[in-house]
Structure 1
């Protein structure tokens, strides 16, 4: 982010704060035992446009995370980490009572066309609205997170997406070649953290719904993925647990390392997308995360999920995930982001199914973003439920052009095209797919 861009965002937040009768926004604060002091004007002028510069040090231009004494830019979905150099969208303000508030929203109006005899077309609205609040309480930091989605309004059948599987529309039949809608309530969570030693913090995260400690950040939060309006076909290997109706996570971070474990409800959300479900915390996960530099975020995780599928209540799953995320900003508001990830799903009883994922996004300036995604998955649901394992592949490429409407609002126009590779016996007939979309981004 350039100094000029930062100043513009600072002025926009100040105007919003004034209109709400709040104190002026501050972009760094003390986390108990950690100095994340506010940057002076001279400090801002001294920082190069390249956010990788060693001069950045502790002078990060964002708030301290509610989960530890590091910059909030490191936080992604749930309690996952992304590279510290990742752009951090959102409007932040401070209230006179000590609360820091942040908001962010994305809406995609999409026309989707999936070709071939197993395809279809549909127009739909997808996206999310996020809010966060935090303040110092006692010797630690209390935080709240909320996220809602318009996805349920697209209907129970979701939208056409060749090679995608997972969940159900009616409680009786699985969705195949379609992406299910996400629930209205994607996250309602509370956190509390405090210092546990020098450069060490401990935290507790409780969500109903929430996201357990497994996998990389959910696809709509990954910098290399968030400009694409379509879900990955690897979603149910890496991040389908991002909406879990009941999760408790405890973790400890030390400098650039974090170790965390979760207890959560294993059952995936049902076909009723507007409600909040409850149940026993019958599943577990663990994740170790390491950010070796400002540009990298690495994780390895494991989970044992009890009865994830409503249609197969006697079957369990074990999943393993490894991923590397990269982000590097450069001049004129541009950035480069990438994700490389592998996961294995062990059905209990059943097959062991692997998935590979690569995502990349290049933002040459403040207007254009070009993105791509390549996936390979071992699927056993495309020929009927557990109808034999087939290796399938998908490649998507697209671009979006953003038009700023104000300092915090952008209107984008984009499109993408997809190619598929699947065994001839599945009857796809080498189809192509594509989406055209309009995006409204606030924050």
Structure 2
């Protein structure tokens, strides 16, 4: 089955317009309705989380996601639509405990620290059209409100190496935090196993109101180059400029650079994927910080996955201002 954005296998497509290895397993329900190819994919998990120590906390919560995709031939190309929703907001605005995690806010006044924010109800509502130029060439356009710009690797809940891990990466805001962007337009060119694309989007992260649809002006930009040299490998490098991404620091912008490589292979007929990724945030005004991620997952049974993740992240936001031991 051809992809939504070009003449390549559909299995290559991950979140937004990002790529994963061509042989990545694709779980979901597939069907046809006239000229339309349809797919449903989702999950719901129950999680008990106990983060120890004086900074930690415990919580029982549920994570969920439902994604519906449809595509059909149109003229010499492919028209596609996507919708993705989540009920993560039911866990509350404060999200769930996750030591050393930072990013976004629960009340519009103080930052979340040692907590992972919940996702919005509407994670993606997007349409796309790709036009074939030849057997291996295509140009495409993608619009999402919300959507995901051409920046970073596939979002962690769409990477096979990370999707069954119930906790978000600590590098989330160094790699793939723009996966819910309220207003994004991407155009790109595909030739065989190479894709070049640019995006214009709104750089502000979602606010603490997780049930609404936010409409904001386009103020940021990014570019990404992706290469799948063989069906087992997916590589990308990307760079973006985000205008005022943080609600609590409206005068701070940042430049984000990421690079990642994912490898997919069967081991004893069990799918295994490993991802290594690096991201750098250069704040203006502010300093540059780096984050590194290494994660793997192997499906050892129909519903059983063994996974692991190691990270190293430079963070200077682990204390509220009044509690910072370096303050004053």
2:224 is the alignment partner of 1:308: no
Contact kept? 2:113, 2:319, Cα under 8 Å: no
RMSD: 1.5
**Structure 1 stretches lacking a partner, 5+ long:** 1-62, 389-424, 427-443
TM-score norm. by structure 1 comes to 0.72
Partner of residue 93 from structure 1, selected from 31, 34, 57: 31
What does residue 111 of structure 1 align with? 48
Q: 4+ residue runs of structure 1 moved beyond 4 angstroms?
A: 385-388
**Aligned counterparts, 1:403-418, within 5 A:** none
Contact kept? 1:139, 1:194, Cα under 8 Å: yes
* Shift in alpha-carbon separation, 1:256–1:300, aligned structure 2, 3 A: same
**Distance across 1 between alignment mates of 2:176 and 2:192:** 25
**Structure 2 stretches lacking a partner, 5+ long:** none
**Distance across 2 between alignment mates of 1:140 and 1:386:** 57
2:289 is the alignment partner of 1:345: no
* Shift in alpha-carbon separation, 1:386–1:344, aligned structure 2, 3 A: farther
C-alpha displacement of 1:387: 8.7
**Distance across 2 between alignment mates of 1:385 and 1:84:** 46
2:116 is the alignment partner of 1:179: yes
* Shift in alpha-carbon separation, 1:115–1:287, aligned structure 2, 3 A: same
Measured against aligned partners, the alpha-carbon deviations of 1:327-346 in whole angstroms (never above 9, x if no partner) come to 112454x1111000111100
Name the SS of the counterpart of 1:379 in structure 2.
coil
Name the SS of the counterpart of 1:237 in structure 2.
helix
**Distance across 2 between alignment mates of 1:233 and 1:270:** 19
**Distance across 2 between alignment mates of 1:265 and 1:144:** 20
Contact kept? 1:86, 1:329, Cα under 8 Å: no
Number of residue pairs the alignment of both structures matches: 326
C-alpha displacement of 1:303: 0.3
**Distance across 2 between alignment mates of 1:297 and 1:127:** 26
Question: Would you tell me which structure has more helix in proportion to its own residues?
Answer: 1
2:311 is the alignment partner of 1:378: no
C-alpha displacement of 1:385: 5.2
Higher Rg of the two aligned structures: 1
TM-score norm. by structure 2 comes to 0.97
Measured against aligned partners, the alpha-carbon deviations of 1:115-155 in whole angstroms (never above 9, x if no partner) come to 00000001111120010001111221110001000111100
Name the SS of the counterpart of 2:314 in structure 1.
strand
Measured against aligned partners, the alpha-carbon deviations of 1:273-308 in whole angstroms (never above 9, x if no partner) come to 011111111000000000010100000000000000
